[in-house]
Structure 1
Amino acid sequence: MKNTFFFVLSILCHTAMAQQKNNASILTKQDQAILIDSSEKYFADRMEQDKIVGLSAALIIGNKVIWQKGFGFADREKKIPMTVNTVVNIGSITKTFTALSIMQLQEQGLIDLSQPLNRYLKQFHPKLQKGFNRDQVTVKSVLTHTSGIQSDIWKNSDLESGKYTDVVDFINDTYLLYPPGMIGLYSNAGYNLLGHTIKEISKEDYPSYIHKHIFSKLGMSRSGFAQDKLSNRSKLYAYGEVVKEYELRDVASGGIYTDMEDFTKYAIGLLDAYQGKNNGLIEEKTIKKMFSLQNADIPLETNKKGLGWFMFRNDSVTAMYHAGSAGFAQAKLLLFPEKKAAVIVMTNTAEGGSAAEEFCFDLLPRFGLSIPDLFPAPIADRIHDSNPAINPAKESLKAHEGNYAVSGSYVSVSSNGENLKMRNGDKLYILKPAGRNEYIPYIVKEGDTVAENNNNRYFFRNIKGYHFLIKRIKQREYNLGYKLKPVTDELWLDRLGLYKQSGYQMLIGDSKFKSLELYFSKDHVLMCRLKTMGSTNEIPLDVIDDHTAMSSGVNSGFGGFTVTFKKEGQNRIADFAGISFLKSE
């Protein structure tokens, strides 16, 4: 079904571009009808294929809704249908509202994005590693997830246990994990700090601010937060069963609920503002700044970003994107601001996320974009000389030796005087020099070496005191991780062992924690085996001080958190991002 849908869209794309290359958003009535029919068939098929209980979707062309529809059930047990008036939590798309609020305050001269966050949120004073500067945590760095603030804090993360203004105190007990401006690290905690900043500047509670300055201006009367007790809220489903809703403390990073009719008002409001229409929401120049590339100077990034948005961008076209996942609800919002178009999908089912995202991404070619347009251009060729193969000095090779944290594990690099050897789990590679600090990987199989892929290259790069290993595949680069510092045995040996979860527990499905095991690998890497109800995660730790480490593997699921250890009486306590684990002596 997906291929048929994509084929229809490709035909539409070719026809529309031939008719009017510079305004691909214009479709004839017949083209619109074909697009609507293919969309309905796509979702009808995916609902059955993926066992999705309820879903709603909309298409906006020319700043107008040409189609919106609900599929399946908002409440399967009571046979209540999913409609465009069914309310769903949009999760992290809330961050775009937070970013919009910050930009509204900037227009009023109340905030300067280039200034330190603690100029406006004076309570913000996290711990600092050697050489770090808190004043480099600017408002912009938090908006673009490049501040070095850790990914999340799970202590008291439900609405009954905590509130978003608690987060600053929790963050103050953690370290900045990376120097601000060095690396893209997605941070829910950072956006809750922005919500708190909005409260401090505007003197309005974050939900009240959003109601007054965004919802009311756009006529979004059926939108709000968990505490608003909105009607027509959907039930949530996962693995074929109804599941309990997890209402977030983190209202500024994932707390907004809306229905499709209101959601389209938000999308159209942004498109109108971008086209210069005065709707009282935001000025044209401001939203064009939001929708422009803001992270081109970040050395290690995974996505192009605007302010509060991810970005697809090539030489001629831009699209802004954000996804949301709150518990089991899923939402996707894709805007084509220059083309006056948008795509929106919401679902009440955990398994519905893939269908929603594929629907959005399959529309990219219609507007002259593709998925690779989301990723930053490779930087290795700008950093390293790709000269003919050279024989690096032994000292140069030795500088790369060590263990590098990667997603879910680590790789070990050693040298033999002429080449580098890299071991990744059970796989062994020879890295042969191809240029200054550029290496071609050859996988070792039964004593023979075979080129892994002619398009693959590995690079090493020093960035602000970290030695990074970077892999390039064709025109995309992956930051695999950085060299871990050696660990002093006497400080950590008596902390090794199994810790069982104790105290506050996450309340949502597979994310409930079971245990944390601290151990040394055979390469003497300090490792954390973190078990939840649904997964086991092997995480390399990088030591910060005598009692604190950080979970490495920069952009992995459990990378980017502070892990602390302390002793209380006969017990040892490990804390991972606000969740406590206990080991009895």
Structure 2
Amino acid sequence: MKSIFLWLTLLAAFNLYSQKISVDDRIAKVENSLMPYVPVNGLEQWNIYERMKHYKVPGVSIAVINNYKIEWAKGYGLADTIKKIPVTTETIFSAGSISKLLSATIAMQLVEEGKLELNQPIKQFLTSWKITENDNYQKNPVTLRMLLSHTGGTSQSSYFGFTPDRKPLPTITQILNGEPTAESNRVVVNSEPGKQFQYSGGGSMIVQMAMMDVTGKDFTTLTQQRIFDKLKMNNSTFEQPLPKPFQSKVAWGYSSASWYKGMPYVYPQQAAAGLHTTPTDLARFILDLQLSSKNKGKLISQKSFETMMNPVIGISSGGYKEEMGLGAFLLQRADNKEETGRYFEHQGANAGFISFAIGNISEGYGAVIMMNSGDDFNGLGTEIRRAIAATYQWKNFLPEAITLKSLDGNTLKSYEGRYRKGVDEVVTIKLEKNYLLETINGGNAIYCIPTDKDQIVFTDYNVKGRFVRDETENVIGLQTEWQSEPMPKMKSEEFSPSELLSFKQYEEAKVGLRQMKMNEYQITYYAYNWLNKKPKDLNTVKAILEVALEQHPNASIVYARWGEYYQACNDKNNARLNYQKALELEPSNKEYQIILEKI
């Protein structure tokens, strides 16, 4: 009897040890299997720390769901680069638009309780604010289903938050009304509801207002009682600004964007962007939704989950089919025919932060990835997600792998050069090892894999390309399968307008800028980016704005940008004159009025 007991004890210990080794092995495989969008046989995979350095991401935190359990969670790098505080599983990140998925879940709870209805006009549930019933609204009144699926035709695609010194923060009614303190426009129905996908943070704010009105509770309390308490999400809150117990745990945000002030931003637009959480907490939420598919969730019923996961409208197609459910983006490979190959996800991007949350609709696996860098949305996070998918063999998630074809060095060398994609778009191809790297206007490198002589695959979108040769076998162009004409290979003395501006060849650059024929918003945004570069090059900004004024002499935004230019030059008189002209052309613009008062 004793021997049997000893044998069972040893067996249990062995199984526990084997399971631990297995999880550790999977973690190590994820950490060393980062890859491009298209898996490549024969391409060396990447290490997570190498790619963090490549993308300049200070800190990353990951939680992995497997077999309806959170199998592991781990932090990497630094939450604060000055204080050298490491990322741990307790480090809190700003989750951005993933907030909308939690908000949609509460809305479904209220539908179950009969306090909201999916298909009735949302105005029936609003008492503290009224939606403007304009011509678009009259055509098809906006419903909760429309708002949760971004088909309500509502405005304000995103919100940019405030620096933490901003006090007081605008209220939800001030945000919806577009009052000056909100620094955003009024939320209106600016296209016919029910006709198209139109991503709208403003629509999410209408949903928040309706939920607050029918419950009589503020949004912080609603989310705490209806989600966080139920799932023991103890490191999560929608409260803005962050309450003191959370402040010591939150990661610092980082971004190279010219407008970024170098500090964690505050988002009073709670349902749209206000969530702070950890990957472990967020994984608890994703997992509970998955358990709802088995009618075992704590938040919503199986019926409500199925309603959320039912496509309302298509968004995009190609290698992947993307659709919109209620609060959740629905994703599957274009060639997928199986229910187990369907996924729900949401992504988030707030100032200095990027996050990803994904789960399989019918199976118990998924992942949450959060980073304290607001740069390069399609970079590190997606590479980590692919490594997790490959390690855990997510059903029909990754594209089919391609095989690298070894070509001789001279052939590969002949592909190097600069190819003109547009007047101001230059594709640069460089040789690295036995494959190629593509950059567009000096952006992040995209791996291009040779599959045969003069044939490559761009691994960011699984797009095929071919190099074009002349009768003497010299490479003269590059053409993707999406292009009707090849991109000509540029001569060594040939440059784009942006390149000429960087060389301070302003008159030559202005010729190219005129050819681009940008509208007033495009060219003033172009000037804005140059105006906020470090160090400033005000001569470049002036050259761009001279072309803007030539082509758009009656555009208020052009004069407003001239006003910004003169402010940067410390020329208050000309700044004032240009803002006055902008206001004369657009008298209703409150922002111009506020700026004029401050000058």
Per the normalisation by structure 1, the TM-score is 0.59
Which residue of structure 1 lines up, in the alignment, with residue 278 of structure 2? 259
Aligned length: 401
- Measured after TM superposition, the shift of residue 135 of structure 1 is 4.6
In structure 2, distance between residues paired with 1:342 and 1:106? 27
Q: Deviations over 1:385-407 (max 9, x none)?
A: xxxxxxxxxxxxxxxxxxxxxxx
Question: Helix, strand or coil for the counterpart of 1:208?
Answer: helix
- Measured after TM superposition, the shift of residue 127 of structure 1 is 6.2
In structure 1, distance between residues paired with 2:592 and 2:321? 31
Which residue of structure 2 lines up, in the alignment, with residue 554 of structure 1? none
Counterpart selection for 2:584 from 572, 575, 585: 572
Question: Helix, strand or coil for the counterpart of 1:245?
Answer: coil
In structure 1, distance between residues paired with 2:588 and 2:255? 26
Distance change in 2, residues 1:107/1:237 (3 Å): same
Q: What's the RMSD between the two structures over aligned residues?
A: 4.4
Question: Helix, strand or coil for the counterpart of 1:133?
Answer: helix
Which residue of structure 2 lines up, in the alignment, with residue 369 of structure 1? 396
Residue correspondence of structure 1 range 500-579 to structure 2 within 5 A: 527-528=520-521, 529-530=524-525, 531=528, 534=532, 571-572=583-584, 574=586, 579=591
In structure 2, distance between residues paired with 1:176 and 1:35? 48
Residue 219 of structure 1 pairs with residue 232 of structure 2: yes
Do the aligned partners of 2:187 and 2:202 also contact (CA within 8 Å) in 1?
Answer: no
In structure 2, distance between residues paired with 1:525 and 1:49? 33
Question: Helix, strand or coil for the counterpart of 1:236?
Answer: coil
Residue 270 of structure 1 pairs with residue 270 of structure 2: no
Question: Helix, strand or coil for the counterpart of 1:359?
Answer: helix
Counterpart selection for 1:355 from 380, 384, 395: 380
Q: Share of identical aligned residues, percent?
A: 21
Which residue of structure 1 lines up, in the alignment, with residue 71 of structure 2? 66
Do the aligned partners of 1:184 and 1:302 also contact (CA within 8 Å) in 2?
Answer: no
Q: Residue type of the partner of 1:102? A: A
Which residue of structure 2 lines up, in the alignment, with residue 88 of structure 1? 93
Q: Residue type of the partner of 2:275? A: I
- Measured after TM superposition, the shift of residue 91 of structure 1 is 1.0
In structure 2, distance between residues paired with 1:451 and 1:262? 47
- Measured after TM superposition, the shift of residue 67 of structure 1 is 1.8
In structure 2, distance between residues paired with 1:276 and 1:127? 39
- Measured after TM superposition, the shift of residue 573 of structure 1 is 6.4
Counterpart selection for 1:338 from 346, 353, 362: 362
Structure holding more strand per residue: 1
Q: Residue type of the partner of 1:214? A: I
Which residue of structure 2 lines up, in the alignment, with residue 125 of structure 1? 131
Structure holding more helix per residue: 2
In structure 1, distance between residues paired with 2:133 and 2:93? 37
- Measured after TM superposition, the shift of residue 454 of structure 1 is 6.8
In structure 2, distance between residues paired with 1:43 and 1:525? 40
In structure 2, distance between residues paired with 1:247 and 1:148? 26
Which residue of structure 2 lines up, in the alignment, with residue 22 of structure 1? none
Distance change in 2, residues 1:579/1:88 (3 Å): farther
What runs of 5+ residues in structure 2 fail to find an aligned partner?
A: 1-17, 33-46, 179-183, 401-423, 426-476, 485-513, 534-540, 549-553, 558-578
Distance change in 2, residues 1:525/1:72 (3 Å): closer
In structure 1, distance between residues paired with 2:147 and 2:93? 27
- Measured after TM superposition, the shift of residue 321 of structure 1 is 1.0
Do the aligned partners of 1:572 and 1:583 also contact (CA within 8 Å) in 2?
Answer: no
In structure 1, distance between residues paired with 2:587 and 2:350? 24
Greater Rg by CA: 2
Residue 193 of structure 1 pairs with residue 217 of structure 2: no
Do the aligned partners of 2:109 and 2:300 also contact (CA within 8 Å) in 1?
Answer: yes
Which residue of structure 2 lines up, in the alignment, with residue 136 of structure 1? 141
Which residue of structure 2 lines up, in the alignment, with residue 433 of structure 1? none
Do the aligned partners of 2:254 and 2:262 also contact (CA within 8 Å) in 1?
Answer: yes
Residue correspondence of structure 1 range 389-538 to structure 2 within 5 A: 527-528=520-521, 529-530=524-525, 531=528, 534=532
Q: Residue type of the partner of 1:37? A: A
Q: Deviations over 1:385-438 (max 9, x none)?
A: xxxxxxxxxxxxxxxxxxxxxxx99xxxxxxxxxxxxxxxxxxxxxxxxxxxxx
Which residue of structure 2 lines up, in the alignment, with residue 318 of structure 1? 342
In structure 2, distance between residues paired with 1:39 and 1:341? 15
Question: Helix, strand or coil for the counterpart of 1:223?
Answer: coil
Which residue of structure 2 lines up, in the alignment, with residue 250 of structure 1? 269
Distance change in 2, residues 1:577/1:112 (3 Å): farther
In structure 1, distance between residues paired with 2:516 and 2:588? 23
Residue correspondence of structure 1 range 286-305 to structure 2 within 5 A: 286-296=304-314, 303-305=322-324
Distance change in 2, residues 1:285/1:525 (3 Å): same
Question: Helix, strand or coil for the counterpart of 1:339?
Answer: coil
Residue 38 of structure 1 pairs with residue 24 of structure 2: no
Counterpart selection for 1:207 from 214, 220, 223: 220
What runs of 5+ residues in structure 1 fail to find an aligned partner?
A: 1-26, 374-407, 410-449, 458-520, 541-545, 550-566
Which residue of structure 2 lines up, in the alignment, with residue 308 of structure 1? 327
- Measured after TM superposition, the shift of residue 525 of structure 1 is 9.0
Distance change in 2, residues 1:363/1:111 (3 Å): same
Q: Residue type of the partner of 1:166? A: Q
Do the aligned partners of 1:58 and 1:260 also contact (CA within 8 Å) in 2?
Answer: yes
In structure 1, distance between residues paired with 2:86 and 2:71? 21
Do the aligned partners of 1:222 and 1:259 also contact (CA within 8 Å) in 2?
Answer: yes
In structure 2, distance between residues paired with 1:192 and 1:372? 36
Do the aligned partners of 1:147 and 1:180 also contact (CA within 8 Å) in 2?
Answer: yes
Q: Residue type of the partner of 1:270? A: L
Distance change in 2, residues 1:183/1:58 (3 Å): same
Which residue of structure 2 lines up, in the alignment, with residue 179 of structure 1? 192
